[in-house]
A = this chain, B = another copy of it.
Amino acid sequence: MPVITIAMDQISEEKKKQLVENLTREAAEITGYPAEFFFVYVQEYPEENIGVAGKTLKEMRSKK
């Protein structure tokens, strides 16, 4: 019944598959719950919706 959520910027479908697979595998092994008990939610945000140090990711990246 554990629920893993990862909030971040937008990523490829392949990376989402890997996150779902690997985060579930590690957490199942550590907690002792079978993988079937785990839900994972990949919460993707546009760069203008994420703030780091008071600036949006979009602002930070456009300045580079």
Contacts and interface: CB of A to CB of B under 8 A. Distances in A.
Interface of A: 1-9, 11, 13, 15-28, 30-31, 35-36, 38-45, 48-59
Copies per complex of this chain? 6
24 contacts: A1-B8, A1-B50, A1-B52, A2-B6, A3-B6, A4-B6, A5-B7, A8-B31, A15-B31, A16-B49, A17-B56, A19-B26, A19-B31, A21-B54, A21-B55, A22-B27, A23-B26, A24-B53, A39-B39, A40-B50, A41-B49, A41-B50, A41-B51, A42-B49
A19 to B, nearest CB: 6
Contacts of A18: 30
